[in-house]
Chains A and B, each alone.
Chain A
Amino acid sequence: MKTVTLDVNGKVFCLDVPDGELLIETLRDRLGLLGTKYSCLEGDCGVCTVLADGKNVLSCLMLTVEAEGRKIMTIEGLTQGSSLHPIQQAFIDEGAVQCGFCTPGMVLASKSLLDRCPLPTKEEIAHALDGNLCRCTGYVRIINAVLSAAQKMKKTS
């Protein structure tokens, strides 16, 4: 067991976790952050995506003890009260959500992209989302949503 101090969605948690615990387990089972989905556990599908210091990473491939010292953000951390982040709103408006299982990961991967590259091209978006599988949408509307969110965020900033 190790005692770790985690910064998740801007809140600090002090937890005792087994050395071998993965971040996905801590987030879901200890912190109840169920928007981090659970699927392949092999780093292939992207549904367990979280942001670590703003970068999209896979919580099924990160030890909780190694998450210490990084700012972790899950999908729950993106919503400020009842107002949605522009990326979330764009996913709704563009019809980019179907079964929704990939959506939290997709939204976070998109945020990571827009934070480092505010006005990406379609190709850059496709490249940035290549770690997040979606079997429903064919990605068309997801990529459109990121484009439209980027434009809206540019206007307001």
Chain B
Amino acid sequence: MKTTSPVGKSVPRIDARQKVTGEATYVFDLKFPGMLVGKMLRSPHAHARIVKIDTSKAEKLPGVRAVVTAEDTPKIKFGSNEYFFPYTVDQYPLEFEKVRYIGDEIAAVAAVDEATAEQALSLIDVQYEVLPAVFDAVAAMKPGAPQIHAARNNIGVMLPVCFGDPDRALRESDYVHEDVFVLPSAAHAALEPHVCIGQYEVSTDRITLWSSTQAPFKIREAMAKTLKMQEADIRVIKLNVGGGFGGKLEMFPMDFCACLLSKKCGGAPVKMMCTRQEVFSCTRRKHPMIYKLKSGVKKDGTLMAITGEVIADGGAYCSYGPTVIAAGIMRFMMVYQLKNIRLFGSRVYTNNSISGAIRGFGGVQSGFAIESHMDMLARGIGMDPVEFRLKNTTDPNTLTINKMIISSNGLKDCIRKAAEISGWREKYGAKKETSPGVLRGIGIGIAADVMGSKMYKSHESAGSIIKVEEDGSVYLFTGAADTGQGSDTAMAQIAAHELGVAYERIRIKAADTEITPFDTGSFASRVTFISGNATKNAATDAKRQILEVVAQELKLGVQDLDIEDEQVVNKKSGKMLLSFDQAVVLCYSFNYGRLIIGRGSYNPKTTPIDFRTGEGNISGSYGFEAQIAEVEVDTKTGRVKVLKMYDVHDIGYPINPASVHGQIEGSIVMGLGYTLYEDLKFKEGRVVNPSFSKYRIPRSTEMIPIESVFIETNDPQGPFGAKGMGEASLLPTAAAIANAIYDAVGVQIKDLPITPQKVLAALKDIKNKKQE
């Protein structure tokens, strides 16, 4: 790397200064003249037919500017996996036939203030015919269960995967083990609530939407479709986003209604924000899942087959359900090398709130189930869990049974390194008692991550534009949507390095559908890899344009020139020819007048997955990691204390090491919450803990020591060898902790969260069994 290159260095975040001074603008901070407040009318019933909606009283309330219902809309459905799963497009922006969960959107109002808007909601008279509802996924699949959509047995998405001859492989196994794992729902709990401002321009018949989103281009597409407008007439702008984690990945009825309300009241901007209760109850949540697994191994540790069934409670609509269930049953195929697999995934409609994308998609659920299950298989044949994994994991340059093409792969190195830094050999099985009744244990979990998932469109391209102005300033335009993970910084670093200039030179304009090139958004750990490559290509293009002018002027071959450390150099002689600023002045001079505008795009080389078989290569590359947890279990109270987490991650190459560590640390602490206490609870379809005082997420006092180490495999596809890594660290955390608890006290907890009560009950069980 070049001496002053920002790539590989923990340069300060490009947006950090505004964020520490409080100057950073988020959507809720915007204020426009004449701005109105919008509010959604939501269903109080879990399942009901809408008989009649009368908005006349609300419309007459002084201060109310507009009321909209489905009658004001073209009544077109939207969904998130339309390209591969057109039948999962199942939600209207405003429902008019039926409501399917408590919180389903029926109408919206815009008024001069919040109190008036709320009063107006109470004046909308909706007549419902309440229908029987079903809240449990297994019950919903039974014949005779209330029918939520047209899908047979309420199974919205069915995903069967079968490779090899699993039955034979199980027969040939020396040890076969069956397990059932139960995973609860969880909330993203981003600190910034969902918020948007919609504004209609009467003279042009165009819409501008400011939204706190991870995917502005996806919102634009869904808005255009559901409003029956041209994409070109809709501009979606992302400002600073106060966290997403998968919860801000789609168009919400609120986005749609803010624009529609603005149109109906003649162009006044309409701001809408979810209350914290709405965020918890009516946006998206994690799919609760059940994993029934039956797998077999040989005595020598060879994993023979993984079989089973996965049932996911999808709630009222499909959302990103297909991607989630696909990730839920296919992610381990990047991790384990085996020939016999049969899994049947069902994503089931219920009358709970909508399950959707959340960091890891289904990988967190599968991570807990598969990685706990693997430990039990290893135990069954008396093999060390680390050895067992080293024997069965994938290698570099592997074609998996389902045709995923894995090139760089540091998984085995991750496992070895994690075992080394955690002192696995001395600690595993030691059952050290640190005080009476308090025992220590150590456990491992491993995972793989995609960088991109071509499941929402036919392509997954991202684009970047770089313009170099006369004064030498460099502007980067990228569609990538930074939601706090630091993609703007990483893109600026990549652009600076490739262009050969200082990081401080880069100014970034990101995620504005009218100004920046297309980008599918921040999800599937794709941004560094895909948008990063696009940005690198744009910088290469801009550099070439500058060097062409210099070459012409100095009568040198363009191939012999490069820009490094803000200097144009002759690569052959190493001689500095002129500074970057001088080169730019030359480009814009009388003789040349060459405007420097570089462009780049990137579409990863993948093959679409055939969802009838599960075959295909979903990602351009794959990331890997191993995580080890050290815990202490108090056998008197059942309380589990996580002492330390070790994370070793094949990140390819870290563009910004501090940001990469930050992603890992944030994921682990989020995983800690999901493992030990986070549980979005429902009663008859109603969320019972929709606040931060009832849905507890980790606080600073829960912070644990984390040792995070990188394995640099320098991916051949990634920009400067980098891979995506925003999700993987969350996947193995729960299993690593659960496996460590087993190591400490001999109980394997198979349903999250691992509460003290469950640990105590399990300890009591084994005590009773011993006595028998």
Contact = CB atoms under 8 A, between A and B. Distances in A.
A and B together in one complex: yes
Contacts of A104: 20, 22
B20 A92 contact: yes
A23 B28 CA distance: 17
Contacts of A103: 19-20, 22
A76 B26 CA distance: 16
A44 B691 contact: yes
Given A34-B29, A99-B483, A138-B665, A84 B22 contact: no
B15 interface: yes
Of the candidates B22, B190, B669, the one having the most CB atoms from chain A within 10 angstroms of its own CB is B22
Interface residues of B, number: 55
B87 interface: no
Contacts of A141: 658, 661-662, 665
Contact of A34 (B17, B22, B703): B22
A3 interface: no
A95 B16 CA distance: 9
Nearest to A103: B19
In terms of DSSP, what is the predominant structure of the interface of chain B?
Answer: loop
Interface string A58-81: 000000000000000011101100
A125 B21 contact: no
Contacts of A84: 17, 20-21
A98 B700 contact: no
B193 interface: yes
Interface in B95-153: none
B160 interface: no
A34 to B, nearest CB: 4
Contacts of B701: 126-127, 130
Contacts of B485: 98, 136
A79 B21 CA distance: 7
A97 B191 contact: no
B713 interface: no
A37 B212 CA distance: 14
Of the candidates A92, A135, A138, the one having the most CB atoms from chain B within 10 angstroms of its own CB is A138
B439 to A, nearest CB: 23
Contacts of B577: none
B666 A42 contact: no
Given A76-B21, A125-B700, A140-B703, A101 B26 contact: yes
B20 A44 contact: no
A135 B189 contact: yes
B569 interface: no
B670 A135 contact: yes
A129 interface: yes
Given A101-B192, A135-B245, A135-B697, A42 B276 contact: yes
A11 B300 CA distance: 75
A10 B21 CA distance: 17
A104 B692 CA distance: 19
A36 interface: yes
Given A45-B191, A100-B242, A35 B21 contact: yes
A47 interface: yes
In terms of DSSP, what is the predominant structure of the interface of chain A?
Answer: loop
B671 to A, nearest CB: 9
B552 interface: no
Interface string A114-157: 00000000000111011011111111111100000000000000
Contacts of A40: 276, 691-692
B699 interface: yes
A42 B700 contact: no
Contacts, number: 172
A39 B242 CA distance: 10
A56 interface: no
A66 B203 CA distance: 48
B364 to A, nearest CB: 15
Interface in B643-693: 658-659, 661-662, 665-670, 691-693
A100 B193 contact: no
Contact of B700 (A75, A89, A101, A139): A139
A132 B700 contact: yes
B12 A92 contact: yes
B666 A98 contact: yes
Contact of B665 (A97, A101, A107, A137): A137
B691 A99 contact: no
A137 B697 CA distance: 13
A127 to B, nearest CB: 6
B25 interface: yes
B22 A39 contact: no
A93 interface: yes
A98 B669 CA distance: 15
Nearest to B485: A98
B13 A76 contact: no
A4 to B, nearest CB: 22
A66 to B, nearest CB: 22
Nearest to A35: B22
A45 B242 contact: no
Contacts of B661: 95, 140-141
B516 interface: no
Contacts of A89: 20
Contacts of B190: 99, 101, 135
B24 interface: yes
Contact of A95 (B26, B659, B699): B659
Contacts of B276: 39-42
B486 interface: yes
Contacts of B275: 41
A36 B28 CA distance: 11
B19 A135 contact: no
B16 A99 contact: no
A135 B22 CA distance: 18
A41 B243 CA distance: 18
A76 B22 CA distance: 6
A112 interface: no
Given A74-B22, A92-B16, A140-B703, A98 B484 contact: yes
24 contacts: A34-B29, A35-B21, A38-B28, A44-B693, A47-B191, A84-B17, A91-B16, A95-B13, A95-B658, A95-B662, A99-B241, A100-B19, A101-B191, A103-B20, A104-B22, A126-B701, A134-B191, A136-B484, A136-B485, A137-B666, A138-B666, A138-B698, A139-B665, A140-B669
Q: Which 10 A/B pairs are nearest by Cβ-Cβ distance?
A: A35-B22, A99-B484, A100-B19, A101-B242, A138-B669, A95-B658, A75-B22, A44-B692, A138-B665, A88-B20
Given A125-B700, A127-B700, A138-B667, 17 more contacts: A35-B21, A35-B22, A36-B22, A40-B691, A74-B22, A75-B21, A91-B16, A92-B12, A95-B10, A98-B484, A98-B486, A99-B190, A101-B191, A101-B243, A103-B19, A133-B191, A140-B665
